[in-house]
Amino acid sequence: MATPHRTPRPDALTLEVVELIGEVVARFHADYEEAAAEHTLTGAQARLLSLLSLEPLPMRRLAQKLRCEPSNVTGIVDRLEARGLVERRPDPADRRVKVAAATEEGRRVARSLRESLRFAREPLAELSEAERLSLRDALRRMLGS
């Protein structure tokens, strides 16, 4: 009879790092929601607008990136489009497909959102460039990218 494979128990340092990552995520999320609210956006609207400020994307791809149903993305895009922050365009590669794209005003709002994220900006400013590079590299390794 084979013995079941057991994952070793995490050590105290690993547990502390996991707790700290959780706290960073919680603080970042709260700061992001606050920044979104300052622009009268929901967190989901702000995340979608931030993605579209980088490049136009088809609705299905937006849903994948936001980890939600395409019907939810349609509603979010509708609300942002009504505010003049997003527009729908034919995909240059396939005119049957529509992509959502940030308008000039949408890109301005997305830039303002990024600039108003205090939690992400302030603690990182206290780290040296070498420390920020090390942190970036460690996070990339954790994410497998």
Tens of pLDDT, residue by residue over 43-90, are 999 999 999 999 999 999 999 999 999 889 999 999 999 999 999 999
In a domain, 140, yes or no: no
Structural domains in the chain (count): 1
Between 91 and 82, where is the model more confident?
A: 82
In a domain, 124, yes or no: no
Residue numbers of the domain that contains 94: 39-117
Instruction: Find the radius of gyration of the CA atoms of the chain.
Output: 19
Tens of pLDDT, residue by residue over 102-111, are 999 999 999 9
- Put residue 100 in one of left, alpha, beta given phi > 0 → left and psi -120 to 50 → alpha: beta
In a domain, 29, yes or no: no
In a domain, 143, yes or no: no
- State the pTM of this model: 0.76
In a domain, 26, yes or no: no
In a domain, 71, yes or no: yes
Query: What is the layout of strands, in order, in the sheet containing 57-58?
Result: 57-58, 94-102, 86-91
In a domain, 32, yes or no: no
Return the CATH number at 66.
1.10.10.10
The model's confidence at residue 137, banded by pLDDT at 50, 70 and 90, is very high
